[in-house]
Structure 1
Amino acid sequence: MRAFADLIDRLIYTRSRNSKLTLIADYLRTTPDPDRGWAIAALTGDLDIPAVKSAAIRALITERTDPVLFAMSRDFVGDTAETVALLWPEPIDAAHLPAEPLRLSEVIERLASLSRSDAPAALAAMLDRCDAEERYALLKLATGGMRVGVSARLAKTALAQAFGLDVDAVEEVWHGLAPPYPSLFAWGEGTGAQPSPANVPVFRPFMLAHPLEETVVDLADYVAEWKWDGIRVQIVHVAGETRLFSRAGDDITGSFPDVAAAFSTPGVLDGELLVKGEAQGGAAASFNALQQRLGRKVVSAKMQADYPAFVRLYDLLYDGAEDLRELDWTQRRARLEAFVAGLDADRFDLSETIDATDFAALGRIRDGARDAAIEGVMLKRRDSPYIAGRRVGLWYKWKRDPLVADCVMMYAQRGSGKRSSFYSDYTFGCWTEAGELLPVGKAYSGFTDEELKWLDRFVRNHTVARFGPVREVEKTLVLEVAFDSIHASKRHKSGVAMRFPRIARIRRDKPAAEADRIAALEAMIG
């Protein structure tokens, strides 16, 4: 655990991407199996220890220290693992603890073998054998919440650099392998063959787009299609097995068994996962409808019936065992159209291209699109192969302009990590016709560091009530909020829910009474 704790500590305080890559690569080269495999699984989010929950950790620390002290410390620090690691007392009978240090593999294998009732005692015994840094790493490991500024892609890139591998080749086989990845490290060190995805439904990295910004493209070279507001998915069927992967490469098959069951044709498809809506006559509903099914490990028959999922297809990567990624978009599109004809029409359809005479006409079409499921426009070069990651000049995303509303700050809460000392998460509301202020959203981005300091001072100087970590403030500050779309919501008292809200401006010039009405937001619902 010592080496892993040192790695986590150094990653937290290292801002440079290249330095993070070097730290992880050095660790992987010098750490033996299976510890390094479990470490990379933790950094990529592929480690799951279901027996350990945050509530159990809070129960352990409140048995060992003043609950009020813990609550106040947690509120100030902003992170449970860090707070517990610092407050955990030294064991009374330390002389009887095992002399040998904990190994990372020992921790994971032990906790993974225990039930939820037995795991807390075992975790407490491990914490007694650790110093503060090791305790922090252990708790992050156990709860699956690393958050050390390392994405899964960066961790895989570091692994590839450590052993001179191609990162896309690593990505290609990653989801066909299981932690602690012995065959992957054997390949890297030259003692084993390269793992093959031939008979396993593995994830292939998505081709991504750059924001269009000020670029103007020639529609003779680029095709335009709608950018749908669902979640990007990859559907793979190999050797009689189907899996759905998210954009991050997470296996989400369990959340959408109805879609997986409807796909039994060998191949790999790229598309947008959406939900059909009754109000739309079976067409795509808003993201709010899809959200009802996201993250569920078990999906009831009623949930599947109430929110029927389908995939709007963008691209065909494999037709059977044939890899089409080197073909240009025009050729892949023709193959996709033929492929879709053999699929279940209730679960799969084709993302249509947009017919526009020129770029200016396309802009007018984009600006006029306020369908709840449309996020903007995609522009794809007709001669582009399907290449993992972002390549300049091949694909562009041209999002429609955000919607905006003037809202009143109502509540604030401290952030996490670097923002744990600042009130940086703001709940804001709009007025009913009767003059009541109701929450319509929450945002924690869009402002500069200087604006964050100003907002933090405002919260501290205008607090009227405290509810645990939440502060209620005077209803005097107007925030101009930008958001991608807005949807009707039965879960919110205001009846509306914003998609991707962020603070666009602080309207110190505007009286709170002149902020927008909820009726104005309802009029924006697509």
Structure 2
Amino acid sequence: MEDFAALLDRLILTPSRNAKLKLLTDYFRATPDPDRGFALAALTGELDLPAVKPAMLRALVAERIDPVLFAYSYDYVGDLAETIALVWGVTASPATGPRPAPPSLSAIVETIAASSRSEGPRRVAGFLDMLDATGRWALLKLVTGGLRIGVSARLTKQSLADLGGHEVNEIEELWHGLRPPYLELFAWLDGKAEKPISSARAPFRPVMLAQPLDEGDLPRITPDAYAAEWKWDGIRVQAVSDHGVKRLYTRTGEDIGDAFPDVLDGLDIEGAIDGELLVGRLDGEIINAGSFSELQQRLNRKSVSGKLVISHPAFIRAYDCLVDQGEDIRALPFRTRRERLERLVATSLAKRIDLSPLIPYDDAEALMEKRSAPPAAIIEGLMLKRWDSVYEPGRPKGPWFKWKRDPYTVDAVLMYAQRGHGKRSSFYSDYTFGVWKSGAEGTELVPVGKAYFGFTDDELAEIDRFVRRNTTNRFGPVREVVHEADRGLVLEVAFEGLNRSTRHKSGVAMRFPRVARLRWDKPPREADRIETLEALLSAAD
């Protein structure tokens, strides 16, 4: 456990991607089985310990420290696991003998995995008493499943590829047929066994990604070289039907089929398609695509109610075919794959799959006009695909381009701030901002969005200082900052689109808001008004 704790501690303090890769690769090379397999499961989000939940840990620490004091500590530290790890050492009973040897990672995982919900917290308490502060922090991160250390599942799999001298796509294609602690995978990576044979039906296949279109690429975009289609504002999915086994994956390989049973039921083809998951409204037997905010009603759920399935039916807008009737066609040119996709989708009778239409155009200038005035608000730009391109995992330069619309921007006023997580836990980095709205009681600021990225590290330090020096109220971990006509901080906020929202006082919700720049030069009274956003909504309608 000490080695795993040291790994997490170093990863969270290491900004460089290559340095993180080396840390991971070195750990997997030096750590024996099954510890490294359980570490891999934790880092990729595949470790499930249902016997312990965050609420149980709060109850556990409440037995050792006054709840008000813990609340103040949590507000200051900003991270639940780190707070408990620190106060646990302060409140522990004085040791009457030598500290017992710290348990191994596999011993912890196997013990907690075999525990009931009533036993789990006590087992965790026992392990906490055996570990130092860093070990306690790592244990709590492990059991709650929220590592937040700046390491993605893809990066972890890349470290495995580096360990064994293989391509990361080989790891991806094996992944869904493997289970922790991955003994057969590591035996192959160590050169001690043959490559595992995945017996999983309907496996995930690594996706092909597009590069942003630069101005210098425009002369290359001609109708005979590139196909054009709309870029839909949903989520990228891969739908696979393989001899009765049906799966729905995100672009990172996460299986989200449980949240979309209607899509799986309607997957009446034999093959694997790449497309956009959209949600909408039934118009007779046809589903018309709705906004991203409607899709969000069904995302991040382990299960979904029948009522929600009816009110927010989901479907796939397909734009590529990877497997057709059991034949892997990724090595064929896009023109051929598109023809195969059209024939495959035509066999579907469930009306849960439709085709992303190709856009006729004469030249790049004509495409530019279409990009600036798409026929529907759910379109966020264009996709350009070379007719002769094979389906190549990763983000190769040239075969596919994405040409998104220019983002919208507004000037908004910072209203509330909250500490971040992980390496940002010491900074106020999550910001709620608002615009002016006139009402019966005069003009006031109403929140319209929340952003936690877009700024540089130097700008983060500047905003953090402003928050600390201009706090006017506290609500748990949230600080209210001064936001008056002549006092406050104006943020230029960029966003991809707007949706109407009954959950927000302003009546609007932003799509992908981020801080574009700090407007220290502008007084809050000159920030935008709600009418600016309502005009954008009306144009979209």
TM over 0.5: yes
Q: CA deviation at 1:163?
A: 2.0
Matched, 1:399 2:390: no
Q: CA deviation at 1:136?
A: 1.2
- Contact persistence 2:43–2:156 (CA under 8 A): yes
Q: Which residue of 1 aligns with 2:271?
A: 267
CA displacement 1:414-460 (0-9 Å, x = unmatched): 22233333222211112223223211101122223333233223223
Greater shift, 87-96 or 363-372, is seen at 87-96
Q: CA deviation at 1:74?
A: 1.9
- Contact persistence 1:317–1:323 (CA under 8 A): yes
* Residue correspondence of structure 1 range 304-343 to structure 2 within 5 A: 304-343=309-348
C-alpha RMSD of the superposition: 2.1
CA displacement 1:297-345 (0-9 Å, x = unmatched): 1111101001000000011101122110111111100110110001135
Structure 2 unaligned spans of 5+: none
Across the two proteins, how many residue pairs are aligned to each other?
526
Matched, 1:242 2:246: yes
Partner AA of 2:516 in structure 1: A
CA change 1:513–1:278 in 2 (3 A) is: farther
Matched, 1:379 2:384: yes
* Residue correspondence of structure 1 range 320-469 to structure 2 within 5 A: 320-344=325-349, 346-369=351-374, 371-434=376-439, 435-469=443-477
- Distance of 1:282 and 1:325 partners within structure 2: 29
CA change 1:260–1:357 in 2 (3 A) is: same
Q: CA deviation at 1:198?
A: 5.8
Structure 1 unaligned spans of 5+: none
Q: CA deviation at 1:106?
A: 1.6
CA displacement 1:36-69 (0-9 Å, x = unmatched): 1111111111112122211221222222123333
* Residue correspondence of structure 1 range 52-63 to structure 2 within 5 A: 52-63=52-63
TM-score (norm 1): 0.95
SS in 1 for 2:536: coil
- Contact persistence 2:228–2:359 (CA under 8 A): yes
- Distance of 1:512 and 1:39 partners within structure 2: 48
Greater shift, 429-438 or 298-307, is seen at 429-438
TM-score (norm 2): 0.92
- Distance of 1:62 and 1:186 partners within structure 2: 44
CA displacement 1:246-303 (0-9 Å, x = unmatched): 1111110100011011114321111100001369983211100000000111111101
SS in 1 for 2:288: coil
* Residue correspondence of structure 1 range 72-221 to structure 2 within 5 A: 72-89=72-89, 91-92=92-93, 94=95, 99-197=100-198, 199-214=200-215, 215-216=217-218, 217-219=220-222, 220-221=224-225
Q: CA deviation at 1:158?
A: 1.0
- Contact persistence 2:268–2:350 (CA under 8 A): no
CA change 1:224–1:177 in 2 (3 A) is: same
- Distance of 1:447 and 1:5 partners within structure 2: 30
Q: CA deviation at 1:199?
A: 4.8
- Distance of 1:13 and 1:477 partners within structure 2: 30
Q: Which residue of 2 aligns with 1:224?
A: 228
Instruction: Give aligned-pair identity as a percent.
Output: 57
Q: Which residue of 2 aligns with 1:488?
A: 500
- Distance of 1:14 and 1:514 partners within structure 2: 40
- Contact persistence 1:415–1:422 (CA under 8 A): yes
SS in 2 for 1:159: helix
Greater shift, 122-131 or 301-310, is seen at 122-131
Q: CA deviation at 1:14?
A: 2.5
- Distance of 1:421 and 1:133 partners within structure 2: 17
- Contact persistence 2:437–2:529 (CA under 8 A): yes
- Distance of 2:349 and 2:380 partners within structure 1: 25
Q: CA deviation at 1:372?
A: 2.6
* Residue correspondence of structure 1 range 35-50 to structure 2 within 5 A: 35-50=35-50
